[in-house]
C-alpha cells in the first residue's frame, strides 16, 4: 500500500466514525416540564396566535425570537396582555388574536407562554 493511499484510507475511516457517532442528539432530555398555565398558553398559541407569530406576519414578533421581543418585554406582562386582549397597532394585532372565544385568562396564559420562550 502506497503511503498516500494508506493515509486517505485513514481519513475515510475517521470520517466514517465521525458520521456514525454524530447521530441526532437526544433532545428529550432537554424538554422541561411546563407549568400548567404555560401548557394551557402553549395550546392557545399553537391554535390561534401561531398563524401570525409563527412566521412574523405583518411584523408580528416571532415566537422565541429574542431580538423581536426585546423592545416589547420591558412593557411588562400586564401591558402585553392588555394589548393582546384589546388589539394593538391599528389592529394588525387583532383583539384576542381574532378569536373572541378566548377568555382573558387564555390570553394571559398565551402571553406568558410567549414571554417564557424569550426569557
Task: Using CB under 6 A, list all residues that contact ligand HEC.
Answer: 44, 48-49, 51-53, 57-61, 72, 75, 80, 83-84, 88-89, 92-94, 96-98, 102, 107, 110-111
Nearer to ligand HEC, 38 or 111 (CB): 111
Our CB check for ligand HEC shows the closer of 29 and 100 to be 100
Instruction: Pick the closer one to ligand HEC by CB: 13 or 103.
Output: 103
What residues are paired with 88 via a beta bridge? 93
32 versus 98: smaller Cβ distance to ligand HEC: 98
- CA-closest candidate to residue 45, choices 71, 18, 24, 63: 63
Q: Cβ of residue 28: shortest distance to ligand HEC, in angstroms?
A: 27
Q: Please, what is the minimum distance in Å from the beta carbon of residue 50 to ligand HEC?
A: 8
3-state class (DSSP) for residue 59: helix
Q: How far apart are CA 33 and CA 12, in angstroms?
A: 42
Helix, coil or strand: residue 88: strand
Residues 42, 26: Cα–Cα separation, whole Å: 22
Amino acid at each position: 500500500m502506497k503511503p498516500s493511499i494508506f493515509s486517505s484510507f485513514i481519513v475515510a475511516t475517521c470520517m466514517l466514525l465521525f458520521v456514525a457517532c454524530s447521530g441526532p442528539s437526544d433532545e428529550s432530555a432537554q424538554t422541561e416540564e411546563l407549568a400548567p398555565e404555560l401548557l394551557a398558553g402553549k395550546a392557545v398559541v399553537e391554535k390561534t396566535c401561531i398563524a401570525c407569530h409563527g412566521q412574523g406576519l405583518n411584523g408580528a414578533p416571532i415566537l422565541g425570537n429574542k431580538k423581536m421581543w426585546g423592545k416589547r418585554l420591558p412593557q411588562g406582562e400586564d401591558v402585553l396582555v392588555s394589548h393582546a386582549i384589546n388589539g394593538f397597532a391599528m389592529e394588525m394585532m387583532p383583539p384576542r388574536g381574532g378569536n373572541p372565544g378566548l377568555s382573558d385568562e387564555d390570553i394571559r396564559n398565551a402571553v406568558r407562554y410567549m414571554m417564557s420562550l424569550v426569557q
